[in-house]
Amino acid sequence: MSTQNPVFIPGPTNMPEHLRRACDLPTMDHRSAAFADILHPALAGVKAVLKSDKAEVFVFPATGTAGWEAAITNTLSPGDTVLAARNGMFSHKWIDMCTRHGLHVQQIDVPWGEGLPVDAFAEALAADSSHKIKAVLATHNETATGVVSDIKGVRAALDAANHPALFFVDGVSSIGSMNFEFDAWGVDIAVTGSQKGFMLPAGLAIIGVSPKAMAAIDGATLPRTFLDIRDMAKGYEANAYPYTPSVGLLNGLKIGSQMLLDEGLDNVFARHARIADGVRAAVGAWGMELCAVSPDLYSNTVSAIRTPEGFDAGRIVSHAADAYGVAFGAGLGDVAGKVFRIGHLGMLTDVMALSGIATAEMVMADLGLDVTLGSGVAAAQSVYRAGRTQSAMAAE
């Protein structure tokens, strides 16, 4: 695998050189004033990226998966019911984690490629007059299928039922690349990791916690130690951690969140929308279809592309790696072998995206698929040229 080619997996994402250097620090006393100058700007940066005034941000030396675990173990008790839908690998794994922790999952199964079933959530919440459901789990962007869901709609369903359940959102593959509004959407815990929208190496579980979720912590009896938010909060008051923090990664988070804010969050989201539009134009030019079943569900951070019936999509991923040193995402779970994924989250430009589209074309042509070389590239070029013209005009 070439170390110079960009990656097109949906995380870990491409690291800007600037951020790689930000993570490379000499050993530092993590109880010193210098550490406080890393920690607090990093937390404040995440909070701004979440578009929140009220979230408390906690960062664990772990990955997004631990963020799921921090959300449930800090706020729930054994036997509690959570409401969740399963529409891809990541929602599936979060549900599995809840089950393993002794929670009861009221599960709604949805075909992979569809979004979270807002109407079914609304029905389930309205029917739950005794408020057995303690939390609603929602995966904002299903990375396995390239499907974005309507988080605002799930919030509206909670509100319409006047339901007090906590609202937990997995934003691992959306936060920092697609619009995410912690306060406006009434999110109680948002979960992400360092290696996706924040453009860093893996190693940080990042969560935003609402005052309502903070208030649930003392009454919750699921066991937690390493991920106990109370210990972390006490640490932060003393500018420290309850254990040894990943200082270099936290410095990366400080600089990385600042990079997003400097570009302007809405500009970052527009960049991802444009890049994704180009990828989708290419997919159309190849005569192929996305796994996501309708345009309102198309993700701006990852496209899962269906390959022709009877063709093993995994061959695209392995041939791209072997022949061209480029990484695409494989299909997972129910769609293994049926889709390959082009990840376009994190640090990506139009020009980088074109190289991925061009590579995918070479790979598919090599494997005998009926794809005209240059067709997808040309389609994406049109999108990117039009986008450039727009932004140039906006700048004038």
Site for ligand PLP, rule CB under 6 A = 11, 63-65, 90, 139, 141, 143, 170, 172-173, 193, 202
Least Å distance, CB 187 to ligand PLP, is 15
Tell me how far, at minimum, the Cβ of 194 lies from ligand PLP, in Å: 8
59 closest CA partner among 154, 188, 191: 191
CA–CA dist 25, 100 (Å, integer): 38
CB of 37 vs ligand PLP, minimal distance in Å: 26
* Nearest to ligand PLP of 64, 346 (CB atom): 64
Rounded CA gap, 295 and 92, in Å?
23
In the complex, minimum distance from the CB of residue 98 to ligand PLP, in angstroms, rounded to a whole number: 14
- Taking Cα atoms as reference points, which of 16, 10, 9 lies closest to residue 349? 16
CB of 378 to ligand PLP, least distance (A): 30
Contact 219, 89 (CB under 8 A): no
Give me the least distance between CB of 272 and ligand PLP, in Å please: 15
Q: Strand pairing of 141-142 and 189-193?
A: unpaired
- In the chain, alpha helices (H): 17-23, 33-49, 64-75, 89-100, 118-127, 151-160, 211-216, 229-237, 247-263, 265-285, 314-324, 350-366, 375-395
Answer yes or no: are the C-beta atoms of 253 and 206 closer than 8 Å: yes
Query: What residue type is assigned to position 77 of the chain?
Result: S
**Would you say 221 and 9 are in contact if contact means Cβ atoms under 8 Å apart?**
no
Nearer to ligand PLP, 202 or 265 (CB): 202
**Integer Cα distance of 18 and 347 in angstroms:** 11
Beta carbons of 69 and 97 less than 8 angstroms apart:
yes
Least distance in Å: CB of 263 to ligand PLP?
22
Of 200 and 363, CB closest to ligand PLP:
200
Tell me the residue nearest to ligand PLP as measured from the CB.
Answer: 64
Q: How far apart are CA 48 and CA 66, in angstroms?
A: 22
Query: Which is nearest to 88 in space by CA: 59, 62, 116?
Result: 116
- Tell me whether residue 139 or residue 210 sits nearer to ligand PLP (CB atom): 139
Q: Does residue 222 contact residue 101 with C-beta atoms inside 8 Å?
A: yes
The nearer residue to ligand PLP, 68 or 236, going by C-beta atoms, is: 68
Degrees to nearest 5, angle at CA 292 with 260 and 96: 80
Measured from the CB atom, the residue of 201 and 284 that comes closer to ligand PLP is 201
Nearest approach in angstroms of CB 360 to ligand PLP is 21
Q: Which is nearer to ligand PLP, 173 or 179 (CB)?
A: 173
Of the pair 89, 353, the CB lying nearest ligand PLP is at 89
Residues 6 or more apart whose Cβ sits within 8 Å of residue 100 = none
In the complex, the smallest distance separating the C-beta of residue 36 from ligand PLP, rounded to whole angstroms, is 26
Q: Dihedral sign, CA of 296, 298, 300, 301?
A: positive
Instruction: Give the nearer residue to ligand PLP in terms of CB position, either 193 or 208.
Output: 193
